[in-house]
Amino acid sequence: MVNAHDLLWGMTPAHAPADAPAWVLEALSAGHPVVVRRAIAQAGHVAVGVRGRLREQRFAAVMPMAAVQRRVVPEALCDVISPRNLPALQALDQLRPVLARENWGVTGSAGFELASGIEALHGASDLDLILRTPTRFDRGDAEDLLAILDTAVCAVDLQLQTPFGAVALREWACPSRRVLLKNASGAQLVLDPWQALV
């Protein structure tokens, strides 16, 4: 089973739809991984996103599960050290001790770069993280964690992954009653991201 933000290798241009732009075919031809996205795919397939060199180059596609040759999960990237010296990577170094006791991982451009070795970060990149929270994460704890993240040398976007989807830490730490929960079915405002949606 794969989860959102997992990186998968094995998708080729032959798996891309006919309307895929040239940069998608180039990325797949070069053997770049694709990232699992939150969407429903038909049986035997997984919804993925292809990344290009430019920020606006993101393409939604589906990949046959049978084509997957390698999978890297966000948690596998926590201790990967990059030789590059960029704010997002400095922030990652800064936050490792803070999150050491948690079940967390690196996603977004930093995760892509750390997993693949392909340069995806730049000086203004945010650091994207995920924190697995199978049980309720107290809003007070969310406020405390957000305060620490906000001391990092770049913007940090952390998602809390609940059994029913993901919610932004920044939203959960705010006083608003409802927060946006994202899952494969879409996004909706909920009172409690750890309760099954009815």
Active site residues: 126, 128
In Å, how far are 2, 18, 32, 35, 65 from 70, measured between CA atoms?
11, 25, 11, 12, 11
Within 10 angstroms of residue 156's Cβ, the number of other Cβ atoms is: 23
Angle between helix 108-116 and 87-99 (nearest 10): 90
Residue 163's contacts (CB-CB under 8 Å, 6 or more residues apart) are 134, 194
Site of tokens 């029913």: 164
Site of tokens 């049978």: 66
Q: How far is the first Cα of the chain from the last one, in angstroms, to the nearest whole number?
A: 25
Q: What is the CA radius of gyration of the chain?
A: 17
- For 21-57, b/e burial (b = at least 16 CB within 10 A) is eeebeebbeeebbbbbbbbebeeebbbbebbbeeeee
